[in-house]
Amino acid sequence: MSHKIINPSTSVPPANAAGSTGYDYTIGPQQTLPNSSAQSVASTLAGTRSVYHESLHPGAHGAHVSVAAYAFLFQEMVSQARNASKTVSEIELRLHRHGYHIGLRLLELLKFRSSVTPGSGRSFFHKSGGPAATAGDAVGGAGSAPSGAGAGGAGSIGTAQDESLSSSITTMKRRDLRLLEVLQFVHGPVWLYLFDRASDDLVKSSERENEYMIIDNTPSITRFISSTNVQCDFFVCGIIEGVLDLASFPCTVTAHSVPEDKFDRRVVFVIRFDQEVLEREALRF
């Protein structure tokens, strides 16, 4: 290869980095360079599949996280927010902000994932997990193409991955444009992704026109937290708000603990849409 690609994120010469592709604690995260030996690239493709190979793929749907591990992480998030804030509402605001950024990404990710047709996904995995020769060929092809060289540090694995994934998408899923559709999306796929089940209910408020409620009888991430004055479910509020905001349904989401006879941890997420959303909804298109 004629081009010598300068990789900004590594301080060591590529020759040293050829063998190491993951995180090296003395150096930091390392990229696999396009011009490093084809063998190491092929071995990363065939062997250990990192999160970058999996996350967009339908095969990653079954991935689960231990509740205990997540509870400890969330516990640390809450205590960090608590140490940094003076009032209860400030703690909730911080949690809300954490969730908001997750929500923004979640809308894109879930739409993308649902667009990948499951059958072609399997064939994609066969291709990358198959013999090293095919993987090496794919890498070589990407590197020698003019556009591939121009892409520079983007990394050949990513390119090969994107190409094969995008080829398996025939039609991209349509974005939800109606209010009820997008609420159904939060109630179903988003909840399913986050908590492995749909939320327990989706209700329209009888008092206000712009108010909808999502009800969770057994909130997963706050199940170990016994506190009445700080509402830790504001983290989930942030996620909902992020999803709806990016889908162009600006709103404010608040969480309220409303115990019912059997479910003493029941939480109601109240979604209050801005006026413009209702005006747009009233238009016919």
Residue 262 token pair: 């059997």
Say if CB 241 and CB 252 are below 8 A apart. yes
Residue 49 within binding range of another protein, rule CB under 8 A: no
Q: Cα–Cα distance between 59 and 122 in angstroms, integer?
A: 8
Q: How many helices (H) and strands (E) does the chain have?
A: 13, 6
Which helix (H) or strand (E) element contains residue 163? helix 156-167
CB under 8 A: which stretch of 27-35, 70-78, 145-153, 159-167 binds another protein?
Answer: 70-78
CB-wise, 69 or 282, nearer to another protein?
A: 69
Residue 97 within binding range of another protein, rule CB under 8 A: no
Compose the 214-243 pattern: x for residues touching another protein by CB under 8 A, - for all others.
Answer: ----x-----xxxx--x-x-----------
CB under 8 A: which stretch of 37-45, 66-74, 134-142, 240-248 binds another protein?
Answer: 66-74
> Least distance to another protein from the beta carbon of 80, Å?
9
How many other CB atoms are found less than 10 A from the CB of residue 220?
Answer: 16
Rounded to a whole number of angstroms, the CA Rg of the chain reads 23
Residue 76 within binding range of another protein, rule CB under 8 A: yes
CB-wise, 4 or 262, nearer to another protein?
A: 262
Q: Cα–Cα distance between 269 and 253 in angstroms, integer?
A: 7
Residue 255 within binding range of another protein, rule CB under 8 A: no
Amino acid in the structure at residue 196: D
Residue 192 within binding range of another protein, rule CB under 8 A: no
> Least distance to another protein from the beta carbon of 266, Å?
13
How many other CB atoms are found less than 10 A from the CB of residue 257?
Answer: 15
Residues near another protein, by CB under 8 A: 66-68, 71-72, 74-79, 82, 218, 224-227, 230, 232
